[in-house]
Amino acid sequence: MADIVLVTVQGGGHFNTGMLFAKKLASQGCRVTVLLPWLNPSGMTTDIANIEMRALMESTPSPRPAFIFPGVRKSRPDLVPSSRFPTALPDSLRKHLDVLRPKAVVLDRMVMFWASQTVEERGIPKYILYTGASAHLAVMLSFHGPSRSGNVDQDMQSVVHVPGLPPLRWAELPLDVVVKSHGIYLGKEGVAKHFVHSNGILLNTSEELEGPILDALHCEYPEIRCISIGPLYPSSYLQDDRPSEEDIRGTAVSIGKNSEDSTALVSWLDKQPTASLVFICFGSFIVLGDEMIRELAHGLESSGFRFLWSLPSPRNEEPAAYLNRVLPPNFVERTSGRGKILTGWVPQQLVLSHPAIGALVSHCGWSSVVECIMLAGVPILAWPFLGDQLPTCRHLVDEYKIAVDIGVDGVPSADDVERGLRAVMEDQELRNRAKQRRKLVRQAALSTQPGSSGHNLADFISSLAG
């Protein structure tokens, strides 16, 4: 039984993907120790066999100020940059590795900057888990990869050509790649060396999700070993038309969130016609500004479509008061016969696996995109904000043609929203392509053929036991 250490962070997509990866390893007999910089005040626990969670620091530090983006009220304020602890985290990691003596260490890309040297000093095989889209990796390497100049001082109106991606406008590039004043600007970190000196980059993707991008990465950067192992979900998600609530709970980790009653939610979904609902969800990080919410509400109401809207209320405001403040007057009453608004944490996988879902309005966070394609097979109305969301949007819209974009150039109007909703709900060719993409992704994840993500994951796990 191989002992593996996974070092990750609390951020939603990073943590959730890391735990899915840990569960894949554990299901194959590996013992996995998940190391987090610190545990949330509410605690993070798991009862999954062969997985143990530990904190590198005993106390939770004060949160950093929230990120602010144009038109966005705030993002989650409870994330703390590891750069504030330049010695404490590596020292703690060193002590854990000396005790655990793992067969390999897998580092989330967000921790590799401070953790890589410690792992390399111990001579332990090191892998990087890239939880975001490979589109982000492609953009980053095109600027800061091996033999790249790192020059980001380009004309803001220019078109950027990244191998494997459709042409990108400057506004569609991730800020951490091109903005030198960004808090985690990658150009100053010598980012390429972390990839070149690793045993491989583990990508939560597949040829069927990002084929042209993966091909370009292999061609452009032969010195970096890119291993596609996604999507990292249990086989029950891929074999059945609809995973059970027990399957979905089996992937979950308790993080103390105020969650919606899944039984009541499923009961409500069961009463909706097939493929009739627009599901609106922007993940756990982005919180829409008030103007955005009102334009979205007006467009949604004008469209006439049924909807399920995840609209989390702030921690310091009662849900009813929040909805009354940010939504158009009497919106809830006027749409109560065809819509439902949820102010608590929503089990997204449970919702997307339900046949009532007809489209997803999303920020294009990679976990949300993968779950939408894999579970629902429905089009996406893309409203990206930052990071890998922007190039992912272009990939889905221009390359695979399973999404329609709004909001890239600021706050979309209610008319923009309505037009986008009609496109994703009524364009049959768009809907057919999304359904076909779902079939291809599922087949690849279950495949044992060389080159498939299923084979790559099995090969990685077997190599740890050697």
pLDDT of residue 247: 60
Options 3.30.310.50, 3.40.50.2000, 3.40.50.1970, 1.10.730.10; CATH for 3-234+447-464 is: 3.40.50.2000
pLDDT tens digits for range 429-456: 999 999 999 999 988 888 778 878 888 9
**Per-position b or e across 367-402, b if 16+ CB within 10 A of its CB:** bbbbbbbbbbbbbbbbbbbbbbbbbbbbbbbebbeb
User: How distant, in Å, are the alpha carbons of 78, 162, 298, 348 from that of 281?
Assistant: 20, 29, 17, 8
- Rounded-to-integer distance, Cα 29 and Cα 246, Å: 21
Q: To the nearest 10°, report the CA torsion of 271, 269, 362, 365.
A: -160
**CA pair distance 39, 453, nearest whole angstrom:** 32
Q: Which residues contact 265 (CB under 8 A, 6 or more apart)?
A: 342, 346, 347, 350, 351
Q: How confident is the model at residue 76 (pLDDT cuts 50, 70, 90)?
A: very low
Q: Express each pLDDT in 353-394 by its tens digit.
A: 999 999 999 999 999 999 999 999 999 999 998 889 999 999
Alpha-carbon separation of residue 285 from 14, 54, 74, 81, 312 (angstroms): 11, 23, 9, 15, 11
**DSSP summary character for residue 119:** H
Distance CA 50, CA 23 (A): 8
Question: Is residue 42 pLDDT above 50, yes or no?
Answer: no
Q: Which of 66, 59, 52 is nearest to 88 (CA)?
A: 59
What percent of the chain shows pLDDT beyond 70? 82
Cis peptide before 125 (omega within 30 of 0): no
Confidence of residue 253 (pLDDT cuts 50, 70, 90): very low
CATH fold group of domain 257-442: Rossmann fold (3.40.50)
Listed residue (271, 319, 327, 263) closest to 295, CA to CA: 327
Provide the 10 A C-beta neighbour count for residue 41: 9
Note the pTM of the prediction, 2 decimals. Answer: 0.87
Which tens digit of pLDDT belongs to each residue from 293-332? 999 999 999 999 999 999 988 878 898 999 999 999 999 9
| Cβ–Cβ under 8 Å, residues 166 and 398 | yes
Q: Is 116 helix (H, G, I), strand (E, B) or coil?
A: helix
Domain range annotation of the chain: 3-234+447-464, 257-442
Higher-confidence position of 395 and 253:
395
- pLDDT above 70: residue 145: yes
CA distance 393 to 403: 8
What are the C-alpha distances in Å from 55 to residues 7, 39, 45, 92, 367?
10, 6, 11, 9, 24
Q: Residue 143: how many CA atoms within 13 Å on its side-chain side?
A: 25
| 188-227: pLDDT as tens digits | 667 888 888 999 999 999 999 999 999 999 999 999 999 9
Residues in Cβ contact with 365 at an 8 Å cutoff, skipping those fewer than 6 apart: 13, 282, 283, 285, 286, 388, 389
